Structure 1
Amino acid sequence: MKNLNCKNCGGPMLIDPSGTTANCPFCGSKYVLDHRDTDYYRDFYERMRGFLHLSADGQERRRRADELWDSAASEVFECSDGRQIDIRSMHTYKNRIMTAYTARQNIIFRFDIGNEDKADRYRKNVSSIDYPSADTRSLSDFFPRISGGFELADATTLLVVKKREDEYPLRLFGTLSGRHTAWLIGRMENLCCVLEYNSIVHPEFGLDTLYIDPYDHQASLYGGWWSAVPNNTAVNGRICTTRDNLTALRETAAKVLGFESASAARETEDVPKPFADFLRSTPLSNAYEDFAYWDDVLIKSYGERRFINMETDDKQIYGKGQ
């Protein structure tokens, strides 16, 4: 996916899920995109959402993925020992600390000069994650697995994290339907329960740190781990608690649905009233209670859970009966 740079400071901008506006995370500028850029991003998002509807045919999935990766950008990095690393990425995301490259089977974080300690914090925070029981250890599949690190000739640092080939940044899907967002919330609640168990606050939980698998309907939390802090830690004069994770969950879901914020969520044909009420609600005292609350909201919104073969389109799946 192409990047747009801020006209004010030159930094790469973040494209809104609607594909109509862009925000600069560096200087705070906000732009309304022209129709050509809007058409490009909406078309890209539509291609990504198409993965949600593909059949179980492995060949078709591979063909569609290969088409996506045909436009991947290549970049070569020189290590301090003279070796070269060639990266092909289909998406890059940059903030004041690092640049993240989404490759086919890895995410490569390149930490800027002066932020080498953030790579160490990432490693430390990830290594401390524990799980309540053997039955829940499978949740480790949705948290980072570090495969290596490199010091580059320009004094920056690379950290390489494994990902499954069919996982993509959540931001790349643009807006999603109510039902698709509902399964995403369930996965995010799972992630928040693991964070709760470990007393971890993840301040960057959101569109750029979450990766989803559109085929298996799973979500993983791969980015932003350098910012994670223990529960009840003071950061910039504010006490961070695990309820912040649940607030970020609501904000993420609201943006994916096309709302400006969670507080702006409202009932629509696609978003039942209990769903909108959940997004606007204050998180419960912990992730376990909040997950139980969401389960109740889900049933009130869409009825009892049932298996759905995703080999169809939204209208066929989500069209209401009498």
Structure 2
Amino acid sequence: MKLFEAVERYVTRRRVEGLQFMSGQAVLRALCKHCGNIDLGDLSSSQIAKFTSASRFAPKTSGSKFSIVKGFVDFYVIRHQMSQLVLEKPPRPRSDRQPFIYACNQIRTLLHQAENAVRRRDMFGGETFRMILLLLYATGITHEEVLVLRRSSVDLAKRRINVDGISTRQPRSLPIGLELRRELTKYMNSTRKLSRREDLLFRRNNGQPIQYSNLTARFAVLRKDANLMPSAQCQVPRILDLRFTFAVHRLTQWIRTGKNLNDLIPALSTYMGYSTLTRAEQFLAFVPERFKEDLKKLSPAKGRRRWCENVQLMNFLASL
């Protein structure tokens, strides 16, 4: 089998699994261009290393490309259509950028200002902006996912939001609370007149899709209106940090109420669309210091039943 044919088959398989895999397809086609349309069995570790570690790529980009190519290689190795390759992962990029974790009163201020500080040149209404920010904070979905939600994605009766998979995020059905359902009901009723079920949930005033650049520009103004100052580490609050805040606030609440994090971290990882069930552990580093001792008691290295042995938890993960 030629490399190009193998790539197209793999991309088709990932899409059948529910992923859009647009960036993955672009990376693998670039690999074909780099190596030529060789036989799949002739693909070597050195060719892959040269492709993923090209000097024109940033370290973070190299790591992302490596993950995509490794998934492709593993797919065919498991099926005995190519030999096992020893792949060396590019060094992990070092970043001093820490997320800005919003306090609850800052979230309330943002939501209030988003709806009320409306200017004539704004591309979408304050009510729409507020609802976008509320969804980002209340569900932890990404800005990419929130901007492609359709009205049909929201099931108010069952209290669920069906999120399409974006890039490496898994498609999933998210249960939501009563308060969020009430806010969504109010918003959808107010925009029902000029909307159809298949329309985007959030649109600009002219009916066109909202772009991420529109959001970031609007958020920069909102940040000034809300008088949000940089953190002690000089980190400027971003709209992306609402996702981090969602995770940290959930973990903090669970620690306060004595929940078992070994069970809840896999659930949180799945809820946020990660393919690795322990990925949400990364957010523990941003939990307030006063909970560190509690954290050690709740998640000891040994002596606890593993989350995968909890039947109730596994049934919940399967339902998302």
TM-score of the pair, normalised by structure 2 = 0.28
TM-score of the pair, normalised by structure 1 = 0.28
Name the structure where helix makes up a greater proportion of residues.
2
Name the structure where strand makes up a greater proportion of residues.
1
